[in-house]
Chains A and B, each alone.
Chain A
C-alpha cells in the first residue's frame, strides 16, 4: 500500500489518510480526522467482502474535497476490476463520505461492505510527543443506527458520531452493509462523521458539531466561498507562466488555511500550517496577513481583532503572559484543557506584540480603515506599553526574552524558535535573557508607526512625539551596540551580559524591513545578504556558511525560509536595493516551481549550483501560511508597490526571467488599481561581495 497522505481541511478540521482514503493511525502518526487539536478518528478502513482496496487514482477536487477511485484487492501485479469503488469525502464539522460501488458484470453481485471505525482521541501534542492518555474510552450504538465513539476524563468529554444513509448493521467497531448490486448497477450510501464536544447524556441524534453551525450550509458556503475568494483577489498576468500558477496556488492554499475562531465564526484569519499548526499563532498570523495585504485585507482585520480579544492582561508565569502581550499560540486539546500545556493561550513570543502595531499601521495605509484603528486603540497602546514596561528584561532599553515557564514554555521566543538557533560564531549558546536583533527592529518600527497612528488617528500629539523620540534613541543605540565592526554586520543578539552574539544570520534582513539600519550601514548589510556565505542562489540562509553551527539542513541554522526571504526582499526594496530584491525574488519564485507553487516552510541551504533543485527540509509541514504568503510579498517587492497617502505608488524592478508582470485590480483606499512592470534586471550574475 502506498504511504501517500491526502489532506483535506476546513478551518481547523482536517483529514489525513492514505491514498485509498483509509486511516490506520499509530500513536505517533499524524493521520486521522482532527478537529480542535484532537484526533476524532484514528481508524477508518473500508473493506469489500473482507478485502482491502487499491487506489487507481486520487483527485483533490477542492481543498476540502477529495475523490478516491478504488478497486477491491491489494494485488500488486494485476487487479481484477469487475467492481469499482468511489469514495468522495468532504470536510466540515467532521466529514461526509459518499461511497459508491459499481458492478461491471452482467450478473448481480452480493457484497459485504464494511467500514471499521475507532478513535484514540489523542491531543495533537500527544501525537507529537507520543504521550499516554489518562481518560477512558467508550463505544456504543445509539438508536440502532449511529456508532458513537467517546472519550471521557473527569468533565472533559469528546465524541465522534458515525451514521449512514443506507441501512447498516452497526456494532461498536464499525458499520456493515450487506447489499446486492444489480448487473452494471450501482449501490451507494453517505457516511456522516460528526465531531462533538459532548458527554454521553442519552442524546439520540448526532449533535450539530463544535462550531455550532448547520453542516449543509457550511459546505455550500465553502464551495461558494472559495470561488468568491479567488474572484475577489487581484488578477495576475505574467510572461513567466509559472508565476501565474504559483499565484493561483498561493491564493487557494491561503483559502484553505483560513481559520475561524469560536468568537468570530463568520470571519477568517490565517492559521499557521498543516497538519500541526491549524490554529492562531500571533506571529504567523501577523506575518501572513502582512504578506497578503495587497491581495486581501480581510485576513489582517480579523487577525487584529482576534489577537486583541486575547491580548494579555495579567502576570501569568505558566503562560508567559503580561499585560499588553500578544499571544503566541492558542490550542483546544485535552492537554491545554487540563493545563498540562500552557496554550490557553500561550504568550511566549517577544515579537508579535510589536508586529501587531506594525500590522495595524500597514493595514490602515492600504485600506484607509481608520475605524478599526480607533476600535483597537486600546490594544495598540497596551502593545506599545508592553515593549517598554515588560519586554525590557535587562533594563538596558532593548527587548529581551526569557521564559518564566521552564517546563513547557519556549526557550527561544523569536521566529527562530528551535533550541540551537541563536549561537555565537564558535557555536556556543548564549544565556538568558537574550535580545535578538530583529526584535529591536520590530520595536523601532512599532514606535515609528505607532507615532503615525497617534498623530493621524488617535489625535494624541504627545504620544506621537514621545514614540518618535524613543524610536530615534533606540535606532542610535542599536546601531552602536549591535554593529560588529570587523564583519560589518549586526550581531544576531546581545546576551545577558550585553555582549554581542556575533554570528552572521538572515535576521539582518529583517532589520532593513524595519528601517532601524542607519543609511551608512545598509550597503554592507545588503552585501552580506547577497554574498556567498548567506545567499545560496535560491535564497538567503538562516545562518551563514562558516559559522560553527551552520548546517544546510539545520532547521534554523542554514536552511532557506521562503517567508524570511520575502521580508528580506521587502527590506532591500525599502533601502533602494532593487537589484538585490529582484535576485531574492527570482530565487524563491524559481524554487516555488519545483514545489508546484506550494513552498515548504524551509528548504536546504545547499548552493544552487550544487543541487540544481531546492532540497526540501525533511520534516517541514505544508502548506505553511507564511510560506504560502511569501510569493505574494515578493510580487509586491519587485513591483515596488507602496501606499503613499491615497495613492498606490508602483516602481517595478523585475528580474529578466519574469518578462512582464501585470497585477490587476489591486484593492485599497484608492479603490482598485493595476500595476505593471517589465523585467530588466539580470539576476544570473553572481553578486560581488566586494562590489
Chain B
C-alpha cells in the first residue's frame, strides 16, 4: 500500500537526474526490485500513471525487473536461490539459511531518455 510514496520518490529522483539533460524526454524507467521488497508490481504500475502526470516522466514506461531471493549456504559454499518465500532453506542440502545476498533491492537501475541537446 506504500507504492504511491515509492513512485513519488522515483519521480523526484528521475526529475533531479534530468537536470543534467535539459529538454530531455523520459522513455523508460527501469527498476530492480527484490522479491522480498514488499512491493507489488501492479500497484507500482497503477500509481506510476497517476504520479507521473504533469511531470517530465509522463508517458514513460516503468520496467520492473524482479530479483529472486538469493541466500548464501555455508554448507554448499555458494549462493543459492530459495525455492519459495515460505522456506528459507537450501534447495540442495536443506540447510536453514540466514545470510541474504539478494532479495531486498528497491532501486532505479537506469532511465532511457531522448535528448534534444548535449548534456550540460
| A, B in one complex | no
Q: List residues of chain B with CB under 8 Å of any chain A CB.
A: none
